[in-house]
Amino acid sequence: MPPPTDAQIAARQAWAVDALDRRMAIIEAMQSSGAGGALGLLGLQRQVAKFLGYAGSVNRARLSDDVSAAFDRHIAALDAIAARVDGDLAAAHPDDVAAARGRLGLRLALIGKGGAGKTVLSSTLARTLAQRGRKVFACDLDTCPGLAFGLGIPVDDAGLPDEALEEQPAAPYGWQLAAGITPEEAVERYGAEGADGIRFLGLGKIGSVDKDQARKSVAAVRQILMGFSSVHTDVIGDLEAGPTTPFEGYHEYATDVVVVTGPAWRSAMTARRLLPMVGDRRLTIVANRFRDEPDHPGLPPSIRIPFDPDLTQAEREGLSPFDACPGSPVVAAVGQLADLLLAQAAAG
């Protein structure tokens, strides 16, 4: 690839500042939404931490002095909000804070080798949480999508329409979320509705080999996930197989990462490669298609999900295990996974 031109560098820097402004607008909207109480504070604390994590990770060597100064101001403003929120939470009643932690929507990303079971587990987890009365936004981050099927979504096009996108030459593939649409609005307006009230958004056309729309949606969907601040909604992202998109940071929005491994040695090799990309997020390792194999070295699973041939059959018929084989031990084990993820989140 040729080195970027000066014009391209300037465009990227302008975009970086625009992105900071958008993030600050999200924080300001959260602060003024009146969603107070411990739940509102926890949501704000998490969102600020997420944006601070991003701002702190940007390589300043590539930024002009002006843009670097904009980052400094952004970080200082977020630090001040974080300190105030920490103080308010410390002053709140510990029982209220503990109860709110249990209600705060999860931010999950599922990663693992191809065929490990990310999609089946994402959809079954989404259905499990939704049936427990939680609001769920499930997002397919795979350009070869499949999550919608497991959510009972009959549409064949669940990507973002052009009206949700605007050209941004500096963004990956040249497009981003249109100005003026908040992440929540995008999910409400353009998300498909699945079983149990699940909202669904994907990167593109399901079953289509045309990847253009998927590419156009990449930056926007990541902006939606990163800025999605609803405290009541669980977010589940099903990532593309392998380390490429985790390496790119597609799971940056998540506070919990589920690494899915199958029994095969190569599945474990990929999982090990993924572990450093989990960073300081909470890690949950899941052994899927489990029969009675010993655990992979270095990958102690928190949950073992049994192999069930009924599941493979359900998938061939385009059905969710939830509908096709609700009595499957896989559905029961995913219930345990949901319990574990909620308990970990409640423990803080």
Ligand X SMILES: Nc1ncnc2c1ncn2[C@@H]1O[C@H](COP(=O)(O)OP(=O)(O)OP(=O)(O)O)[C@@H](O)[C@H]1O
Cβ–Cβ < 8 Å for 75, 55? yes
For residues 142 and 234, which CB has a smaller minimum distance to ligand X in the complex? 142
Q: Is 330 among the residues that bind ligand X (CB under 6 A)?
A: yes
Among 40, 43, 105, 112, binds ligand X (CB under 6 A): 112
Nearer to ligand X, 8 or 312 (CB): 312
Answer for the pair 94, 47: CB distance below 8 angstroms, yes or no. Answer: no
Q: Which of 9, 54, 315, 346 binds ligand X (CB under 6 A)?
A: 315
By CB under 6 A, is residue 117 in contact with ligand X?
A: yes
> b vs e for 234-257, b when ≥16 Cβ sit within 10 Å of the residue's Cβ?
bbbbbbbbbbebbeeebbbbbbbb
How many whole angstroms separate alpha carbon 147 and alpha carbon 83? Answer: 39
When asked if residue 13 is in the footprint of Mg ion (CB under 5 A), the reply is no
Q: Is 312 in the site for ligand X (CB under 6 A)?
A: yes
CB of 196 to ligand X, least distance (A): 19
Give least dist CB 172 to Mg ion, A. Answer: 21
- Does position 288 interact with Mg ion (CB under 5 A)? The reply is no
Span 108-127, contacts to Mg ion by CB under 5 A: 118-119
For the CB of residue 240, give the shortest distance to Mg ion in the complex, in Å.
Answer: 8
Using CB under 6 A as the binding rule, whether residue 37 contacts ligand X is answered as no
Q: Shortest distance, CB of residue 191 to ligand X, whole angstroms?
A: 20
Among 74, 126, 142, 177, binds ligand X (CB under 6 A): 142
Query: Beta strands 303-306 and 165-167: pairing type?
Result: unpaired
288 lies in the binding site for ligand X (CB under 6 A): yes
Q: Which of 305, 325, 337, 338 binds ligand X (CB under 6 A)?
A: 305
Q: Are 152 and 195 in contact (CB under 8 A)?
A: yes
Piece of the chain touching ligand X by CB under 6 A; list 62-70, 159-167, 228-236, 301-309: 301-309
**Residue 120 interacting with ligand X (CB under 6 A):** yes
Interface residues toward ligand X, by CB under 6 A: 112, 114-120, 142, 146, 241, 288-289, 305, 307-308, 311-312, 315, 330
Interface residues toward Mg ion, by CB under 5 A: 118-119
